[in-house]
């Protein structure tokens, strides 16, 4: 459920008409719904009732300060994968002890920052990283609470580019090798191995891969405890999918079903459980709004050319993802629909949001909305073709605010300089 709906024939974000926002900020832009963020967070946390659980929002899904501050205000922690994301989480008001630092390629500088901030947990992904962290922590006189991120060799069944739990993926430590590395960890200065972490991918639409991974982690926890380890935390990652293209008829499991699966697989381990949802919380809490530039008909295709491009929303070009696209002005009942390709202005053939989508008659100046664009939309955007990053707007009831403005050209080039040998 989300809070974008038609009122009197016009798409609204909660109580605000989308054309009203477009008139002020220009197109394209992202728009986030506070009510949807709040609802999704509460639905997920309600599904975990009865468990000693905490939820750390995966900042990589949406790095906007207003989005993160909203979730932190509801009680969320943050899962971060870079020093920059750690700084964003802190700036958004997240307590350091509620931050989990994940990521396969942490630098020494990032590890020092995490230790200086006293983050709640560092997820270690390799033996080399473990030794580096030990050296840094001992030098600072600190003890790092760590989890080893275990790779359970489970295929999540999702898109190949966002599957992270197979042994051929770059992430984590093979689960069969983990016990020996835990034994090494407890001999190292500055290291407290108190947790196990696992994360098998993103946009997962079946509970079976989760359960398979969690059961392997369960076996590991019992094995480690038998070996004298005081494992009291279990980080189960995120990855539960959301519906994107409703024509596909793919319905991911509900948070309630997910919570029941967690309870039957690891609920009796007496561990504090940590979850790191991102897309599930923010995905359909956001839309991208774009204006039709022109309609182009060829002998075989109709192209609806919009002013948003793949630099603004890269998921279709990168993953072959398909977002529902709807007109901001509601289509009258019985209106004739026409098949069209929705494309952007970027000088790449792959700058295509959807092929063969059925749309009502559109003309230049009409607005369209790309649904379920709150996750990995603005966060993955770029300035390719010297196109500025687009504004982000947050709505709450009948109020709205620009929470990231469009930069000027001067700001876009402010970091560049000519070398002295060029006049």
The catalytic residues are 347
| Owner of token pair 């649904």 | 371
Question: CA–CA separation, 266 vs 24, rounded Å?
Answer: 50
417: CB partners within 8 A, 6+ apart: none
What is the C-alpha R_g of the chain?
23
Number of C-beta neighbours around residue 205 at 10 A: 17
Give the CA dihedral 156, 162, 168, 169, nearest 10 degrees.
-120
The number of helix segments (H) and strand segments (E) in the chain equals: 12, 21
Q: What residues are paired with 33 via a beta bridge?
A: 395
Specify the DSSP element, H or E, that contains 94.
none
Indicate the SS3 state at residue 362: coil
Backbone angles phi, psi at 145, to 5 degrees: -80, 120
Distance CA 371, CA 147 (A): 36
Query: Long-range contacts for 165-168 (Cβ within 8 Å, ≥24 apart)?
Result: 165/198, 165/199, 165/200, 165/201, 165/209, 165/213
**Other Cβ atoms within 10 Å of 283 Cβ, number:** 26
Going by their DSSP bridges, the two strands 121-124 and 99-101 should be labelled as parallel
Report d(CA 264, CA 218) in Å as an integer. 11
Do 311 and 326 form a contact (C-beta atoms < 8 A)? no
Cis amide leading into 28 (omega within 30): yes
Decide if 186 contacts 193 (C-beta within 8 A).
Answer: yes
E strands, 73-153, where? Answer: 77-80, 99-101, 121-124, 144-151
The DSSP-derived string for 49-86 is TTS-EEEEEEGGG---HHHHHHHHHTT-EEEESSHHHH
Structure tokens at 381: 């955007």
d(CA 166, CA 176): 13
């Amino acid at each position: 459920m989300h809070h974008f709906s038609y009122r009197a024939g016009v798409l609204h974000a909660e109580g605000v008409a989308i054309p009203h926002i477009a008139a002020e900020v220009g197109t394209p832009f992202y728009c986030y719904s506070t009510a949807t963020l709040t609802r999704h967070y509460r639905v997920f946390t309600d599904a975990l009732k009865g468990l000693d659980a905490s939820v750390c929002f995966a900042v990589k899904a949406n790095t906007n300060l207003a989005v993160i501050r909203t979730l932190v205000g509801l009680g969320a922690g943050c899962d971060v994968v870079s020093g920059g994301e750690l700084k964003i989480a802190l700036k958004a008001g997240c307590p350091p002890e509620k931050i989990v630092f994940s990521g396969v390629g942490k630098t020494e500088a990032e590890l020092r920052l995490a230790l200086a901030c006293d983050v709640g947990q560092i997820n270690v992904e390799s033996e080399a990283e473990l030794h580096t962290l030990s050296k840094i922590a001992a030098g600072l006189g600190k003890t790092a609470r760590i989890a080893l991120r275990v790779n359970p060799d489970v295929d999540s069944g999702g898109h190949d580019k966002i599957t992270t739990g197979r042994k051929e993926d770059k992430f984590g430590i093979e689960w069969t090798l983990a016990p020996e590395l835990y034994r090494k960890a407890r001999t190292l200065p500055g290291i407290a191995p108190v947790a196990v972490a696992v994360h098998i991918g993103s946009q997962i639409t079946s509970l079976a891969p989760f359960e398979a991974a969690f059961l392997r982690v369960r076996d590991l926890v019992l094995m480690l405890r038998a070996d004298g380890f005081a494992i009291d935390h279990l980080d189960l990652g995120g990855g539960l999918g959301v519906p994107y293209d409703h024509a596909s008829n793919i319905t991911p499991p509900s948070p309630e079903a997910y919570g029941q699966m967690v309870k039957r697989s690891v609920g009796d381990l007496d561990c504090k459980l940590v979850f790191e949802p991102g897309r599930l919380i923010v995905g359909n809490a956001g839309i991208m709004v774009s204006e039709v530039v022109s309609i182009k008909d060829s002998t075989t295709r109709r192209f609806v050319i919009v002013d948003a491009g793949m630099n603004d929303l890269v998921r279709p070009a990168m993953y072959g993802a398909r977002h529902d696209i709807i007109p901001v002005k509601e289509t009258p009942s019985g209106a004739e629909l026409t098949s069209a390709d929705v494309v952007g202005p970027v000088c790449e053939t792959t700058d295509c949001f959807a092929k063969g989508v059925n749309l009502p008659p559109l003309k230049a100046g009409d607005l369209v909305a790309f649904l379920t664009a709150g996750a990995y939309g603005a966060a993955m955007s770029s300035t390719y073709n010297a196109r500025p990053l687009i504004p982000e707007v947050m709505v709450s009831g009948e109020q709205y605010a620009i929470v990231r403005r469009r930069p000027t050209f001067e700001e876009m080039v402010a970091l560049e300089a000519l070398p002295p040998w060029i006049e």
